[in-house]
Amino acid sequence: MTAQILDGKATAAAIKSALKTRVEALQAKGVQPGLGTLLVGDDPGSTWYVAGKHRDCAQVGIASIRRELPDTATQEEIEAVVRELNEDPECTGYIVQLPLPKGIDTNRVLELMDPAKDADGLHPMSLGRLVLGEPGPLPCTPYGIIQLLRHHDVAIDGAHVVVVGRGITVGRSIGLLLTRKSENATVTLCHTGTRDLPAALRQADIIVAAAGVGHLIKPEYVKPGAAVLDVGVSRDGEGKIVGDVDPGVAEVAGWLSPNPGGVGPMTRAQLLVNVVEAAERAARAQG
Ligand SMILES: Nc1nc2c(c(=O)[nH]1)N[C@@H](CN(C=O)c1ccc(C(=O)N[C@@H](CCC(=O)O)C(=O)O)cc1)CN2
């Protein structure tokens, strides 16, 4: 078997094209959506991701507001920029690029954000709304994964999804989305403390690999025909970027997201969706 490709680039392009029309409708009402980003430090990966987010904004007509601080920035300096973005009327939604430098209390920074401007769906209020089933911004990578599966007609209803990784951006929240009535999946969350990871993975109809451990998912752990989503990014011994999924998995899986070109572009597209939806909510509230 050679897996069918879950093409994130093409799916994200379709989402962005639909968003352009929604942005034009907002602009016609005098509302200009604007995405703010706060980047602390000069990590090449984070710098690249933030640049990509602004390129996407330009494509759909969302304005860009960029704030940058050196990696020596203190908690207070970071919080001061968060307060500025909370107050900036041109910034209708924003993100704090993660991870923040060592020594910074990330939760304190996220909690300080205005929840109405949370474009990442990572504010405690947004996560709480997700638990309660109330409308709000959805976490970008988890919802991007669901959109990618839907777009390729991969059955989620009734599927057993095994997630590997318990980080805040993917592992912790994806189960909340997948177990909603609208998705109706059964989710097992695995992590470094899971005793027999291969045994858990062999049960999966869908695997979400978000551990950040290069080539962790081997072909022999995958049920033939399963859908496999490669979220992780890490470097091998030679410094080359690798995903969490061993290339041999393509011979066993029914569906496979490439990395790059799979979940990454979907994460960015969902961020734009959150910005546009927040601006639409604000426009409705204004009447
Ligand atoms: N505040 C946030 N921080 C982080 C998030 C997040 O959702 N919000 N997720 C990750 C990084 N991330 C978004 O910020 C992200 C990662 C990868 C991509 C992407 O498009 N990757 C491309 C490859 C890019 C390359 O060539 O290196 C792909 O997969 O095709 C977008 C966003 C951690 N931080």
ipTM: 0.95
Nearest-CA residue for atom 6 of ligand 1? 169
Other beta carbons within 10 angstroms of residue 17's beta carbon come to 11
Q: Are 241 and 272 in contact (CB under 8 A)?
A: no
CA atoms of 136 and 125, how far apart (whole Å): 9
Average pLDDT over residues 109-121: 97
| 211 pLDDT tier (thresholds 50, 70, 90) | very high
- Beta bridge partners, 241, equal 235
Look up the pTM and report it: 0.96
Per-residue pLDDT tens over the stretch 32-56: 999 999 999 999 999 999 999 999 9
Q: Which residues line ligand 1 (CB under 6 A)?
A: 48-49, 52, 95-98, 120, 140-141, 169, 259-261, 264-265, 267-268
Specify whether domain 30-114 bears CATH 3.40.50.2300: no
Give catalytic residues, as residue numbers.
Answer: 53, 97, 120
pLDDT of residue 208: 98
Contacts of 56 (CB under 8 A, 6+ apart): 16, 62, 268, 269, 271, 272
Q: Are 61 and 23 in contact (CB under 8 A)?
A: yes
Whether 106 shows a pLDDT value over 80: the answer reads yes
Q: Where are the domains of the chain?
A: 30-114, 140-263
Whether 1 shows a pLDDT value over 90: the answer reads no
Q: How far is the CA of 285 from the centre of ligand 1 (A)?
A: 31
pLDDT of residue 282: 85
Judge whether 30-114 and 140-263 match in fold: yes
Contacts 24+ apart (CB under 8 A), 52-58: 52/268, 53/95, 53/268, 53/271, 56/16, 56/268, 56/269, 56/271, 56/272, 57/272, 57/275
What percentage of the chain carries pLDDT values higher than 90?
Answer: 94
Q: Is 167 annotated as a binding residue?
A: yes
**CATH fold label, 140-263:** Rossmann fold (3.40.50)
Q: How far is the CA of 126 from the centre of ligand 1 (A)?
A: 20
The best mutation among 6, 7, 49 to test binding of ligand 1, ranked by most ligand atoms within 8 Å of the C-beta, falls on: 49
DSSP letter at 117 equals: G
pLDDT of residue 161: 98
Q: Give the distance between the most distant pair of CA atoms in the chain.
A: 57
Q: Are 188 and 207 in contact (CB under 8 A)?
A: no
Other beta carbons within 10 angstroms of residue 251's beta carbon come to 13
